[in-house]
Structure 1
Amino acid sequence: MLEYLNDNAGGVTAIFTLALLLVTGFYAWTTFDLLREARQSRLMASEPRVVAYLRANEVHSNIVQLHVANLSGAAAMGVTASISKLTDWPNPFDLDNSKILRDLKFLRPHEVLKFDLGVGPDLFQDDVPAEFQIAIAFQSLDGRAFSFDDKLRVESVEGHSHFQIYSIDDVARRLKEMTDALRSVIGSRRLRVETYDADDREAERRRWDEQRASIKGGDRSGDKKR
């Protein structure tokens, strides 16, 4: 065996050298792949994700709000947005060509900005909900550019089916609150409102004339006694 290896030392060396090259190449390829995945993970971790969607106001549920949110853990720079209505309604539409949306500039990680879009009944016409187009441009901290472009539909808002009648319910609820507040002040009694008319003015004028006459009469009797 030793004699065979000695006689074929060149071939054995070549075989082991080739095996070493294959192992080295495998480790080099694996290391490169790991570095590439690490780079992609680093880029994704520093990549902002700004989106827009519609939601109902948390306090007044008949008001629809536009939410501009950064869903990522990385900050977004140079944020600018624009929204336009694809339907002829609502009118007026205050966010059309809005300077506030154009100059958002910066969004912190997981920050959400909220803008009132319109009142529920105004967002429908002949039972057809309004539709909007929004475009957002933003950058990562290392200067990479991103964009978001989508259509926003009012029917995507939870509870939108009640928007057209909610305003009536809201008025009724407010009237009930006012009635309860008045009852707490005056109880169940009715308020009596008295008017001040021409007869009242004439009676008051006569009283003043009588008082002046009595004062003058008292002054004259005092002068006679003197």
Structure 2
Amino acid sequence: MQQAASVMQFLNTNTGAITGLATVALLLVTGWYAWTTRALLKEAQQTRLMASEPRVVAYLRVHEIHGNIVQLCIANLSAAAATGVSASVDKVTDWPTKFDFGDIKILRDLSFLRPHEVLRFDLGYGPNLFHDGQPAVFKAAIKYESLDGRPFTFEDTLQVESVAGFGNWRVYGIDDVARRLEEISKTLSAFSGGRRLNVDSFSAADWKEEERAHKERRSQNAPGQRE
């Protein structure tokens, strides 16, 4: 009882100090809750913005049907639509010699991409994208906007050697073609220089004799024929 009385006397004596400490503790807890709420709100806003943020990229893939054709794919990987889409593809290497994507209007005016939409363009024939065994390299650049007008860009280097299955392409040079033509020429010469088959031909008299012999065999095998 004496100890409890001492505690009560201490509390009564230091009421102001205890109230001040409790107030400070309450302020700290309130501040922590306010900071946590602000962080959660900011994260929710970022999540909402990311959900409405398109993501347009470019990459190379092999044609689904023709395995020796490389396609340029421009895809919107996001669940949000992209507007004002404009793309360009330039050669980093000097090959291929025939390249029509440098400043093509169809890439400049893509305009709009639906969520998860993929556009495919035939970039080139597999073997033509190599020179002296070295694969071609391209640089792609894309500009686009979200539906609320936020601008975005994409830039990347696209290498043909990154395409799955490119190792199956047979790259024929001039020497390879000449060697193949020589082998074909030797094969044809072997056929033309061989012995020819003798084919017997039938004259009109031979056909008549064959027909007479056939009739005799038929009459001999007829049913009811007397011995």
Q: 2:170 aligns with which of 164, 174, 177?
A: 164
Q: Does 2:59 match 1:53?
A: yes
Partner of 1:18: 24
Matched pairs, number: 166
1:165 shift after superposition: 4.9
Q: Equivalents in 2 of 1:56, 1:33: separation in Å?
A: 45
Cα pair 1:89 1:124 within 8 Å, conserved: yes
RMSD over equivalenced CA pairs, Å: 1.5
1:130 maps to a residue whose letter is A
Q: Does 2:112 match 1:106?
A: yes
2:128 maps to a residue whose letter is D
Matches within 5 A, 1:133-148: 133-148=139-154
Q: 2:102 aligns with which of 82, 96, 101?
A: 96
Structure 2 residues not aligned, in runs of 5+? 1-6, 173-227
Q: Does 2:9 match 1:9?
A: no
Cα pair 2:60 2:71 within 8 Å, conserved: yes
Q: Equivalents in 2 of 1:163, 1:95: separation in Å?
A: 22
Q: Does 2:89 match 1:83?
A: yes
Q: Equivalents in 1 of 2:23, 2:125: separation in Å?
A: 78
TM, length-normalised to structure 2: 0.69
Structure 1 residues not aligned, in runs of 5+? 167-226
Q: Percent identity?
A: 63
Q: Greater shift after overlay, 96-105 or 118-127?
A: 118-127
Partner of 1:153: 159
Partner of 1:200: none
1:161 shift after superposition: 2.0
2:145 maps to a residue whose letter is Q
Q: Equivalents in 1 of 2:42, 2:111: separation in Å?
A: 31
Higher helix share: 1
For the residue of structure 2 that corresponds to 1:24, the secondary structure is: helix
2:72 maps to a residue whose letter is L
For the residue of structure 2 that corresponds to 1:132, the secondary structure is: strand
Q: Does 2:166 match 1:127?
A: no
Cα pair 1:48 1:70 within 8 Å, conserved: yes
2:105 maps to a residue whose letter is K
Cα pair 1:124 1:164 within 8 Å, conserved: no
Q: Equivalents in 2 of 1:118, 1:64: separation in Å?
A: 6
1:91 shift after superposition: 2.3
Q: Equivalents in 1 of 2:97, 2:170: separation in Å?
A: 16
Q: Equivalents in 1 of 2:98, 2:64: separation in Å?
A: 23
Cα pair 2:95 2:131 within 8 Å, conserved: yes
Q: 2:79 aligns with which of 70, 73, 84?
A: 73
